[in-house]
Structure 1
Amino acid sequence: MPSARLSELRAALPRMAVLAGIWAGLVGCLIASGEIVVHSNAVTHFDRHATSVLVNSRTAALDSAMKAVTWLGSWIALTVMAAVVAGLVLARHLPLLAAAAAALAWAGEAGGVRIGKEVVARDRPPEAIRLVQAHGWSFPSGHAAAAALAITVLAMCVTAVTRHRTLRVLGWLIAGLAIVATAFSRVELGVHWTTDVIASVVFTAVWLTAIAVLLGGRLRPTVRNPPGGI
């Protein structure tokens, strides 16, 4: 492995240490928000009302669509993300640091969600209304967080390998819609409350923003395509 790429990775270690501190703060905020959600009658009423409205609005077509969409927050999406990032790094379209940043992003997302679930320990919606199987605590939503992570990173990859402004805008638009649809699916399928998915998306978005701010300048493509190319 070229020494230049390793040197770049070592140079970013201090920034990664700062990110570790930011992550700890974000997890603390996630837990605090979870405690507020669990102990607030107003929020609980909102969640139950939102779930009731969605459950009463179900149709066979919508249920089928949401069962498919919810896979965007599964291990499949994370595997695709990892494969795409690895491929672009091996093809030298992205620096080695991009792979490390993606791994850090995933570890922070997964770790934060796991800690939040265990500390807040919020019950899921009643089993009678669930259309898919779900295990563990409800807050925050692991599927919504994973979708926000995987889809955002894939959108960043699109931005990295194309100079077409239309494709970039389209990529981010599709990414945003996919994240919202995945979060919605978890509530419509009866396995999460609305505030579960909102907290997950916000937590992951802020975490990815912190990574982009501190490491973004070092994640630029190492090989650029000719003007107009993809």
Structure 2
Amino acid sequence: MGSSMPVHLRHAALRLAHSAREEMVWIDAIDNAELRDMILTELSPAILTAVCPQPGVTLSDDDPDCFFHDGRDSCYLKLLFTLARNSNWHPHLVEDHHIDRCISIVAKCDLGPHAFYLAGILLRIAPEQSSVASLNSITERQWWDIMRKAWFYTRYDIYDIHCFEFLPVLVEGTKRYMQIAREYHLEYLIRCVDRVLLSALETRDSQQGEGEGVIVVVKELRTVVSDMIKKLVGSQGVVSP
């Protein structure tokens, strides 16, 4: 996926990598250490080149290599979301500037449905890469925006088992960054959580065992958010109806 490769070939290669992401994520299962290290070292920067062949160059929105393209970057972020499930990929995602790109997307773009995948990437990597300067550039407001928007789109992704398994991480991230939230955002968050519980979690075949545990964690978040709303209302001297 070199930068000199025609754009349609780079994007086709990205789609292939996206299709093979479940095989790529467990790269450490390869017994041949030399082959494994080669794939980790060379594939990660190649993926970035597919979406950003000219770093630092500003292109028009109608250019196929524009900063953000919904279809292209949907594949890209879903690929990173999958790779971030394996901590062996984390140093490469940081060193090869994938995390820098994710942070730029947060700063420059309307996140929309991509918020869920950005949350999955950044929340998994941030705790162990706290010394990375670019991660420190994410403001509390931006973190909270990612969390609340991720919940809005969670119900559309929850039928994917790997998205479902990510929910406890999203819950913890939400608890951490919702302290600056306004009351109406918290009320909206409860509605989003309720929709997730009603439309997906409680109808999953995996209710038993770990799946049931995920549902419990999400319900606990609802309680925490509800309690925070009550405190906000109380601090304003307003009596709830």
- TM bracket (short chain): under 0.3
TM-score (norm 1): 0.26
TM-score (norm 2): 0.25
> Does 1 or 2 have the higher relative contact order (CA < 8 Å, sep 6+)?
1
